[in-house]
Amino acid sequence: MASFKGQAEYSVDSKGRVAIPARMRNALNPEANNSFTITRGFEQCILLFPLDEWAKREAEIARLNTYRSEARGFVRTIMRWADEVTLDGQGRIVVPKSLIAFAGLEDAVLIIGVLDRIEIWDPGVFAAQAEQEADYSDVAERIFEMGRDM
Amino acid sequence: MASFKGQAEYSVDSKGRVAIPARMRNALNPEANNSFTITRGFEQCILLFPLDEWAKREAEIARLNTYRSEARGFVRTIMRWADEVTLDGQGRIVVPKSLIAFAGLEDAVLIIGVLDRIEIWDPGVFAAQAEQEADYSDVAERIFEMGRDM
DNA sequence: GGAATGTTCCCCACTTTTCCCCACTTGGCT
DNA sequence: AGCCAAGTGGGGAAAAGTGGGGAACATTCC
């Protein structure tokens, strides 16, 4: 699995292009074919999954029973926001307009490597979100008490 | 399987034609022969299945026990609305009048790729429908029984 | 039967968007 | 200083979406 880490503050140009940090580009498997599935996160941010990583997730989603209305709505929501993007010669991707609007992107973006995915945030949105979250060390205690996760 | 994804807002012209996004056209198998079976969805929307994908569904439907009146009605409803459409030279299909009325289409449509099918919605109808649905991340937790991923 | 009407299909023309390529700038390394 | 890798910006060709004309076919009405 690709292991992304670190953060960077880059710009979005007038064509909706965002450069992916070289460090993260180099972490891609050849099977990803320089491409990502881009989609929305649960929070107000954009997620990038390398193509090979996304394939696993999609296989899970496809197994859901679409004769159940709740599952149908869920699959619809996930796939609606998803799109495939490929790095251009300069290591950039074009972010779909709907996702730029969803994430509230303007000139600058915060790019964060999070294990199997890359997250793209508007810096302002991220700051507001981080503020709301409980204290980092408190959360850590709670998560690790459960023993198994992370 | 085709694996459609993404959304687009396009227009319906006076002849009932709707363009299918190039991204989704490119995802079609050659066996689909540039054709779809078009029918109504469970919600107030229109569904497009590539011909090859529809063949599998039809086989499933045909296996249902038609000595049960419920199954009989179900099969009748599906097949009653179904029709076959082919892409024209500009990548458009003609939507049957009955389905335009059913989905409440006017000038604009929202086209959504949902794995094995393409859905066509009236934007207003979709917004109303989406509002009723439970929160995305809540559903995700329930469906996958885990909240941390994605 | 034949004219009038309407529908379907194919083609052409226009506009907008997307994609690919080239060029410039900055900062780190030799 | 000079070179190279990385990020940023923009121009132009090609593709995608939109709208409409007109031939071919069918349908209805006289």
What pLDDT shows up at residue A10? 95
Percent of chain B with pLDDT over 90: 69
Of B109, B132, B136, nearest in space to B7 by CA: B109
What pLDDT shows up at residue A146? 61
Taking CA atoms, what residue in A is nearest to B27?
Answer: A84
What pLDDT shows up at residue B16? 94
The C-alpha atoms of residue B127 and residue B102 are separated, in whole angstroms, by 17
Q: Does B146 score more than 50 pLDDT?
A: no
What pLDDT shows up at residue A142? 81
- Backbone dihedral angles phi then psi of residue A39, each to the nearest 5 degrees: -155, 180
What pLDDT shows up at residue B145? 57
Q: Which residue numbers of A have CB closer than 8 Å to B's CBs?
A: 37, 41-42, 47, 57-58, 60-62, 64, 69-77, 79-84, 96, 98, 117, 149
Question: And the tokens for A144?
Answer: 């690790």
Percent of chain A with pLDDT over 90: 74
Yes or no, beta carbons of A61 and B112 under 8 Å apart: no
Q: Does B148 score more than 50 pLDDT?
A: no
Domains and CATH numbers, chain A: 7-122 (3.40.1550.20)
pLDDT tens string A23-70: 999 999 988 999 999 999 999 999 999 999 999 999 999 998 888 888
Nucleotide with the nearest C1' to B17 CA = D18
Of A28, A23, A30, nearest in space to A48 by CA: A28
β-pairing verdict for A92-94 and A17-19: antiparallel
Q: Does A149 score more than 60 pLDDT?
A: no
* Strand D contacted by B114 CB (< 7 A): no
Q: Does A83 score more than 90 pLDDT?
A: yes
Of A122, A117, A119, A89, nearest in space to A105 by CA: A122
Contact A85, A35 (CB under 8 A): yes
Burial of A70 from C-beta contacts in 10 A (0-12 / 13-18 / 19+): middle
pLDDT tens string B1-18: 779 999 999 999 999 999
B69 residue type, one letter: S
The C-alpha atoms of residue A102 and residue A41 are separated, in whole angstroms, by 10
pLDDT tens string A94-114: 999 999 999 999 999 999 999
Beta partners for residue A108, in sequence order = A11
The C-alpha atoms of residue B68 and residue B111 are separated, in whole angstroms, by 35
Q: Computed from CA positions of residues B3, A44, B111, B128, in that sequence, does the dihedral angle turn out positive or negative?
A: positive
Residues of B whose CB is below 8 A from A81: 7
pLDDT tier for residue A134 given thresholds of 50, 70 and 90: low
Contact B45, B121 (CB under 8 A): yes
What pLDDT shows up at residue A67? 86
B16 residue type, one letter: G
pLDDT tens string B98-136: 999 999 999 999 999 999 999 999 999 999 998 877 677
Of A15, A14, A24, A22, nearest in space to A119 by CA: A24
The C-alpha atoms of residue A93 and residue B100 are separated, in whole angstroms, by 36
Helix axis angle for B51-62 and B69-81, nearest 10°, is: 160
B10 residue type, one letter: Y
β-pairing verdict for B7-11 and A117-121: unpaired
Yes or no, beta carbons of B143 and A64 under 8 Å apart: yes
DSSP 8-state class, residue B29: -
* Strand D contacted by A79 CB (< 7 A): no
pLDDT tier for residue A136 given thresholds of 50, 70 and 90: confident
* Strand D contacted by B13 CB (< 7 A): yes
> How far does A128 lie from chain B, in Å, by closest CA?
19
DSSP 8-state class, residue A30: G
Per DSSP, the three-state class of A41 is coil
Percent of chain A with pLDDT over 70: 95
